[in-house]
Amino acid sequence: MLLPEQVIQELVTRGELWESAPGLCGMRGSLAALRADVSTTLRDLAMTETRDEWQMPQGVAFQTLETAEYFESFPQWLTAAAHLSGDEQSLARVARSSSPGDVARRSLEPASAALPPAVCYHTYAALRETCVEDSVMMTAEETCWRHEGVRMSPLERGWAFTMREVVFLGGSFETEDFRQRGIERASELADSLGLRARVAVASDPFFAPTSRGKAILQRVKSLKHELLVDCDDGHSLAIASFNNHERFFGEAFDITLPTGAPACTACVAFGVERWVLAILMTHGIDEDAWPIMSSATAAHGAGAAR
Amino acid sequence: MLLPEQVIQELVTRGELWESAPGLCGMRGSLAALRADVSTTLRDLAMTETRDEWQMPQGVAFQTLETAEYFESFPQWLTAAAHLSGDEQSLARVARSSSPGDVARRSLEPASAALPPAVCYHTYAALRETCVEDSVMMTAEETCWRHEGVRMSPLERGWAFTMREVVFLGGSFETEDFRQRGIERASELADSLGLRARVAVASDPFFAPTSRGKAILQRVKSLKHELLVDCDDGHSLAIASFNNHERFFGEAFDITLPTGAPACTACVAFGVERWVLAILMTHGIDEDAWPIMSSATAAHGAGAAR
């Protein structure tokens, strides 16, 4: 099995992977085709649960993240979209500068929207103050942003990355049942792709001391599992996570069941680029050795560049 | 034919379209499925030109936009991605605030990357200081960001929107030939979808007085055309643009032909959400009346929610 850095080095040498800025990667050639196939395969997996696919907004209101208590938990990751003031004078100052990029990056207005740290915040915001009949299950794929500073590394931990999520809202029993089914199906998919993956209890890296208790509770109550691929250097790659939030988001966003009780929620989340990396670590960088993803090949017109 | 605002109003009422923040829209139900079908149809059109599909980085280096003289031309649109300082104290200040979202949006570091205003800047940056043998042709779809202030309106002019581009680099004759072929194929696609579209000479809304001469040159030399759908209220929706940049990007990014001369470039760009809006304006919001996009239906597993 290759180490992540061996995979990355070879892809960069081949010109199939490059960084435009720290943590932001482009892909070409067989790597881009593999990424497209993985994206379609994960979409197909989600579709076995639900046909209700959404196209998410590209940014999240700060208010939504406040309601989700995001800033108490993960402020370290926050990334936001900001623009220049529209007034002619300040635009002219940028336009006439000898290093306009540098002037521009320091002249931004306060940010107008956060870039999504995860897909499911959109779901809770869209369903705010509604009553969920029986249950709601939806899926979406979206670019997510988490700034992890020096920990960033291509395909494994990008500043921006692609997340496929399936989100469930309903009663307590059905919610945990959905999560368990997600663990099974993701494990089966990993098996079918020849990945040696294992399921482990996990917790989120909460920031604030007050929130660190949440991490302990997560572990004690087994509310979060991850699907891990172990690397030969001893660290593990989490390629999917399975999260039961109990009544937390239902209460925060006032999403209720017909009984009037807050809805329970769970999400199953896949990191598209991490699945790509796991396949490359396991099977090597020669595309002839990659597993065949039949539905993907069909959907992408015989696999594009492959 | 429906007006854009009639389409939007109906979609919002149905709960299929919503804004998470000004200029940022989410989609559900038949609207989301239509958007997915349009995206696949435009991808198929691009694939008739080239099988070389790239996955673009989610952000652009400010240096790349400087090289492209972006700030002299379009600073008004610039949107950038910024994060908080990673130091524990300032994160704690955000986490402990009573309105952490508001503190966070005002506490961002200078931006680390621009969000892409168009797809093709990535292409020129990736090919910087290389020699193009004969020609290069590639395609990609990406979320692009342009802040157009009060002009923003859902599906027509989002702060963020989806752009499919096909980019050509090569000799002068082949470059213009590519652009003309793009005009023909896009017009044919519009016809096949029942859209009444017309091709017109256009120019970019350059910002700086010095750059406004570029707009005049663009028109005089017919370097930019748009595919327009006329609305009943008199304004037009540009659903595609066809741009010949001559040697501008080849010179700026030092991309040469085997002769040593700078490469010429052209791009054909499609606004995915504008095609969706044009279909809805033309055929109405009842999905039974929408044109069948056969390849799209196959690729998206029988059209998902449709």
HEC string of B168-192 equals: EEECHHHHHHHHHHHHHHHHHHHHH
The predicted pLDDT at position A207 comes to 79
Q: Which residues of B touch A91 (CB under 8 A)?
A: 75-76, 207
Q: Does B131 touch chain A (CB under 8 A)?
A: no
Strand order in the sheet with B197-201: B136-145, B160-170, B264-271, B236-246, B224-230, B197-201
Count of CB atoms situated within 10 Å of the CB of B234? 6
Interface predicted TM-score (ipTM) of this complex, two decimals: 0.94
Plot region of A301 (φ>0 → left; ψ -120 to 50 → alpha; else → beta): left
Of B1, B3, B4, which Cα lies nearest the Cα of B155?
Answer: B4
- Residues whose CB is less than 8 angstroms from the CB of residue A183 and which lie 6 or more positions away in sequence, other chains included: A199, A225, A227, A242
Give the minimum alpha-carbon distance from B285 to chain A in angstroms, rounded to a whole number. 18
The predicted pLDDT at position B86 comes to 86
Whether residues A86 and B62 touch (CB distance < 8 A) is answered with no
Q: Which residues of B touch A106 (CB under 8 A)?
A: 110
Of B280, B55, B82, B15, which Cα lies nearest the Cα of A37?
Answer: B55
Whether residues A57 and B21 touch (CB distance < 8 A) is answered with yes
Give CA–CA dist A107/B17, Å, rounded.
33
3 state DSSP class of A54:
coil
> From the centroid of its chain, how far is CA A195?
20
Cα first-last separation, chain A: 23
Residue B297 predicted with pLDDT over 60:
no
Give the minimum alpha-carbon distance from A46 to chain B in angstroms, rounded to a whole number. 11
Q: Does A207 touch chain B (CB under 8 A)?
A: yes
Residue of B nearest to A72 (CA): B95
- Residues B261-276 have a mean pLDDT of 98
The predicted pLDDT at position A55 comes to 98
Amino acid at A301: G
Q: Does A80 touch chain B (CB under 8 A)?
A: yes
User: What homologous superfamily is domain B4-80+116-299 in, according to CATH?
Assistant: Bira Bifunctional Protein; Domain 2 (3.30.930.10)
Listed in sequence order, the DSSP H helices in A148-271 are 172-192, 209-220, 248-252
CATH of A4-79+116-299, one of 3.30.930.10, 3.90.380.10, 3.40.50.300, 1.10.1740.10: 3.30.930.10
Q: Long-range contacts of range A231-235, CB-CB < 8 Å, 24 or more positions apart?
A: A231/A1, A231/A3, A231/A4, A231/A281, A232/A1, A232/A3, A233/A3
Whether residues B51 and A305 touch (CB distance < 8 A) is answered with yes
Plot region of B69 (φ>0 → left; ψ -120 to 50 → alpha; else → beta): left
- Residues B200-221 have a mean pLDDT of 86
Q: Does A14 touch chain B (CB under 8 A)?
A: no
Q: Does B28 touch chain A (CB under 8 A)?
A: yes
The series of mean pLDDT values per 10 residues for chain A, 306 residues long, is: 97 98 97 97 97 98 97 94 92 93 96 97 98 96 94 96 98 98 98 98 84 86 96 96 97 97 98 98 97 64 37
The predicted pLDDT at position B289 comes to 96
> From the centroid of its chain, how far is CA A52?
18
Domain ranges of chain A: 4-79+116-299, 83-114
Give CA–CA dist B197/B188, Å, rounded.
10
